[in-house]
Amino acid sequence: MANDLSTRLPQAFSARGDAAVQFPHFINGFFVASRDGRTFENRSPVDGSLIGKVAEGGQPEVDAAVAAARAALEGPWGKLTVVQRVDLLYAVADEINRRFDDFLSAEVADTGKPVSLASHLDIPRGAANFKIFADIIRNVPAETFEMNTPDGGTALNYALRVPRGVVAVVSPWNLPLLLMTWKVGPALACGNTVIVKPSEETPGTATLLGEVMNKVGIPPGVYNVVHGFGPDSAGEFLTSHPGINAITFTGETRTGSAIMKAASNGLRPVSFELGGKNAGIVFADADFDAAVDGIARAAFSNCGQVCLGTERVYVERPIFERFVTALKAKAEAMKPGIPQDKETGIGPLISLEHRSKVLSYYEKARAEGATVVTGGGVPEMPAALSNGSWVQPTIWTGLPETSAVIREEIFGPCCHIAPFDTEDEAVARANDTQYGLCTTVWTTNLSRAHRLAKRIEVGLCWINSWFLRDLRTPFGGSKQSGIGREGGVHSLEFYTDLRNVCVKLY
């Protein structure tokens, strides 16, 4: 297939189904169809309309991508200096920003999220990820030691960071560009080559990025994209391929377990950011309005489809009723609508299939005797949007901690609020989960805040904020929420091997 997506993709995305587009694989610098011609549909979560047909990859496409990645690693890409790689990654970021509107159209078409959100978060961060890690690899120090030798001489030891090799990047659908480049950026900065398997729900920006790579001169085979599903499709063939040197994945814990089993063949390293059932804790001394705003964002942003979102809220009893009333008002003020409408406060879920899952938990909550404070169903939408994946922002109270709604990740715009009386009780409830991704604590007592940050079993603890990120800091989960850390120099630990060089001096 010719490399002509630049004239077709953004136009088709903007039309949202008026002219269905083809989403090919991107292998060795070319856009190619599957050898057997298999495709699947990509539909808009806003109205169910057809966005386009996506090539479904199998073993032949994965084999070709691995071969291309290996050749680039051993050829032109592997021969570049760090400075040359850094300059190219800066060019990638600049080209994403130059084509900001194209990437925005692609992201919004796939996800249905409001333009106001994607334009301020997804696309800027997607570009920034390349510059951040380019700067880090350019400035990262290396260890050097001088030692005495048994013969009375000296030797010099120094460490080299060398690339892992060919890295499989399996990325999710909730923040497609941001989370994909969060992995591709450091992988390329460290000198690896990558094969991206984007979610089948969101093929757009990963495909479009192939054009950017070609435009700025990234050698063919450095960045590859193979579309498809998980089992018996591109995902399984990629993660089990013996030519893959490392696997990084963001998604649900069950899928992570399956990938880990595949990675055990050959003892390949993995980096996982997995599920969460995150707790928010609000003390009576908190800045009340800030806490309500923060929890509303944490529970309902991106229609609740954020791994760092808050689905369990614990509020100190003296302000419990007031807090529930205030959060209810926030939820009910969120207007669903088309992404381009400036008044739209919440978009749809990613698909009708995912909506069925979320609605099943809404039903479980009612069956278990929850008080439905607000929401609990599907909003009434105009006829043109009636086939979209819409759900209401939902708040519950009154459920026991053993409820499925409190124990299991829902990944929708919902939360359960419960009162607590003591600090120890709040910590115990927050830790009573198989997950350990993040928490957010609201209090003006900084001594208490520091105590809780040490006691709550998570990879990330926010105090009086949510989703505030310095990309140089470690990011990842504990327990069933992941393995390893991403961000800053911590990403380098996964994307490089350390090699010691010992030089005998005479």
Measured CA distances, 267 to 176, 230, 240 (Å): 28, 21, 11
Measured CA distances, 3 to 9, 29, 194, 226, 287 (Å): 11, 9, 20, 16, 54
Measured CA distances, 90 to 83, 129, 279, 411 (Å): 11, 10, 37, 34
273 in catalytic set? yes
307 in catalytic set? yes
| Cβ 319 vs Cβ 291: under 8 Å | no
**For strand 496-505 and strand 154-163, is the pairing parallel, antiparallel, or unpaired?**
antiparallel
Catalytic residue (choose from 56, 107, 200, 307):
307
Instruction: Tell the residue number behind the tokens 């649900």, with chain if given.
Output: 252
Contacts of 79 (CB under 8 A, 6+ apart): none
Q: How far is Cα 237 from Cα 62, in angstroms, rounded to an integer?
A: 7
**Six token digits for residue 277:** 């059932």
Measured CA distances, 258 to 56, 61, 171 (Å): 20, 21, 15
With left for phi above 0 and alpha for psi between -120 and 50, is residue 263 left, alpha or beta? alpha
Catalytic residue (choose from 273, 311, 409, 486):
273
Q: How far is Cα 396 from Cα 384, in angstroms, rounded to an integer?
A: 30
Q: How far is Cα 212 from Cα 97, in angstroms, rounded to an integer?
A: 10
Supply the Cα-derived Rg of the chain in whole angstroms.
Answer: 24
Question: DSSP letters of 340-360?
Answer: T-TT--B---S-HHHHHHHHH
Q: Find residue 436's DSSP bridge partners.
A: 478
Contacts of 60 (CB under 8 A, 6+ apart): 34, 35, 36
Q: What is the dihedral of CA 128, 130, 132, 138, to 10 degrees?
A: -160
Contacts of 203 (CB under 8 A, 6+ apart): 23, 42, 54, 110, 227
**Six token digits for residue 284:** 């009576």
Residue 396 DSSP label: E
Q: Find residue 486's DSSP bridge partners.
A: 475
Q: How far is Cα 485 from Cα 495, in angstroms, rounded to an integer?
A: 11
Catalytic amino acids?
273, 307
